[in-house]
Amino acid sequence: MNGAKFRVLLLAISCNVVTWLTLAAANAFAQSGTASAERGAKLYLEKMCYTCHGYAGQGGERGSGPTLMPGLWPYPAFAQQVRHPRQDMPRYGSRFVSEDELADIYAYLASIKPGPAAKDIVPLHD
């Protein structure tokens, strides 16, 4: 194996190990039961998440951020996206959003109940 191929292989292995460790830690914390939806609601505003994702995770106006609710990702995928985002989302490292804060924000999003279906909204029937 030449040097270039070895470096690519080493980089791929390193990325997989870092991803696995991040997901394992995030999953362990999410299952600890210490997250607070109330704190998460405050943090969601404080950390400006609503500016792209809307106040209830419904997505931002003019495509500024994707919908988070309904259909919230499992916690490990959510944490991975926040820490190592794909596409246009800025990265939020643990110096900006701690692991506890991230779990609280997730708890807040998970606590949001979906709205009624359009067919169930009475004024729309008239």
Pick from 106, 98, 116: nearest CA to 37: 106
Among the ranges given (8-12, 106-110, 113-117), the one the predictor scored with the smallest mean pLDDT: 8-12
* pLDDT score, position 18: 53
pTM for the structure as a whole = 0.68
Domains of the chain (ranges; CATH) run 3-113 (1.10.760)
* pLDDT band for position 104 (cuts 50, 70, 90): very high
Mean pLDDT of the chain: 82
pLDDT in tens, 40-60: 999 999 999 999 998 888 887
* pLDDT score, position 27: 53
Q: What number of residues does the chain have?
A: 126
Query: Which long-range contacts does 82-90 make (Cβ < 8 Å, 24+ apart)?
Result: 83/22, 84/19, 84/22, 89/52, 89/65
